């Protein structure tokens, strides 16, 4: 087996097909996670302006009526799988962020330290109404101690005035590859991981989808553990690892982003 194949095999072992509630004592330094939106989302809706043929099935959505309870469970998962000085970054679309905010504020054992906003390019050909294009990121810590590095290596800190309120990152669409609905872009995760963790730290995502958190953690020399109920997430994860490790993915990303700006 070639060196690259061995590396990918080892990295795939860090992604388990598992319910988030079944994780215990992972002992992570940082949780980065992006729960389902509670909007009957399938990832194949026409307004998502992408070739649905490549989008994998199996995404597990949460119903609106159960949303509060699921978020409560997620907070428990985060708390019991973080180190005593660990911290978490929880993504939220706009529809149900009030529920996340409310649950986080009332939760014992994690403290809300602030919110970050990710602004992104969404459905730019959407003509009928303005497309909402902000994600909220809830930043929570387990104690009064946490890791925070003042500078990252993305444009966020290298150009202009960096601030941790607004993160402006484009989605890095890939062509002719299996796609995961809602996959987070590389540079956004790079920015967060560099600010909120150190090399060698363990990063955990119990709702990993495509496993993009793990892909970026690997290239930034962090360890990672991933889980999702959808085994197709792991199919996309393998394709992403192959793209970045064997197919010059970083150069391809640059070319695609230049094309997107035109
Ligand atoms: C918004 S997506 C995460 C996308 C991911 N951040 C990425 O970059 O690809 C939410 C994920 O949660 C998964 N999920 C929903 N309920 C789950 C549960 N109880 N346990 C594990 N995964 C679950 C869904 O299958 C979906 O992949």
Burial of residue 255 (number of CB atoms within 10 Å: 0-12, 13-18, 19+): exposed
Ligand 1 centre to CA of 160 (Å) is 34
Whether the Cβ atoms of residue 28 and residue 203 lie closer than 8 Å to each other: yes
pLDDT digits 0-9 by tens, 202-233: 999 999 999 999 999 999 999 999 999 999 99
pTM (two decimals): 0.93
Average pLDDT for residues 42-62, to the nearest whole number?
Answer: 74
Q: Examine the pLDDT at 41 and tell me if it is beyond 80.
A: no
What is the maximum span of the chain, computed from C-alpha positions, in angstroms? 52
Give the closest residue (by CA) to ligand 1 atom 8.
183
pLDDT at 126 over 80: no
pLDDT at residue 166 in the model = 86
173 lines ligand 1 (CB under 6 A): no
What is the architecture of the domain spanning 3-261?
3-Layer(aba) Sandwich (3.40)
More confident position, 117 or 38: 117
User: Is the CB of 60 within 6 Å of ligand 1?
Assistant: yes
Distance from Cα 37 to the centre of ligand 1, integer Å: 10
Give the mean model confidence (pLDDT) for residues 2-31: 97
pLDDT the model gives residue 47: 46
| 183 touches ligand 1 (CB under 6 Å) | yes
Atom of ligand 1 nearest to the CA of 70: 19
Tell me if 93 CB under 6 Å of ligand 1: no
Mean pLDDT throughout 113-131?
Answer: 74
Measured in Å, residue 182 CA sits from the centre of ligand 1 at 9
Going from the Cα of 209 to the center of ligand 1, the distance in angstroms, rounded, reads 5
Whether the CB of 182 sits within 6 Å of ligand 1: yes
Q: Where are the domains of the chain?
A: 3-261
Q: Phi-psi bin for 144: left (phi > 0), alpha (psi -120 to 50), beta?
A: alpha
């Amino acid at each position: 087996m070639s060196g690259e194949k061995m590396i990918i095999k080892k990295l795939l072992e860090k992604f388990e097909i598992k319910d988030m509630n079944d994780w215990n004592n992972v002992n992570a330094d940082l949780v980065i996670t992006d729960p389902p939106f509670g909007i009957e989302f399938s990832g194949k809706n026409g307004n998502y302006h992408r070739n649905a043929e490549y989008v994998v099935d199996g995404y597990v959505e949460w119903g609106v009526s159960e949303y509060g309870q699921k978020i409560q469970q997620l907070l428990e998962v985060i708390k019991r799988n973080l180190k005593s000085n660990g911290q978490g970054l929880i993504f939220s679309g706009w529809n149900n962020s009030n529920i996340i905010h409310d649950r986080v504020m009332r939760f014992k054992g994690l403290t809300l330290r602030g919110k970050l906003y990710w602004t992104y390019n969404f459905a730019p050909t959407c003509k009928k109404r303005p497309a909402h294009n902000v994600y909220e990121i809830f930043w929570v810590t387990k104690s009064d101690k946490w890791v925070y590095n003042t500078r990252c290596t993305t444009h966020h800190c290298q150009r202009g005035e960096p601030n941790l309120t607004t993160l402006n990152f484009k989605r890095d669409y890939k062509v002719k590859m299996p796609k995961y609905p809602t996959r987070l872009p590389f540079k956004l995760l790079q920015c967060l991981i560099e600010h909120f963790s150190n090399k060698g730290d363990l990063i955990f995502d119990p709702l990993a989808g495509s496993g993009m958190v793990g892909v970026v953690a690997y290239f930034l020399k962090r360890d990672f553990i991933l889980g999702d109920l959808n085994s197709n997430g792991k199919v996309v994860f393998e394709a992403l690892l192959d793209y970045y490790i064997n197919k010059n993915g970083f150069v391809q990303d640059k070319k695609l982003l230049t094309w997107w700006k035109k």
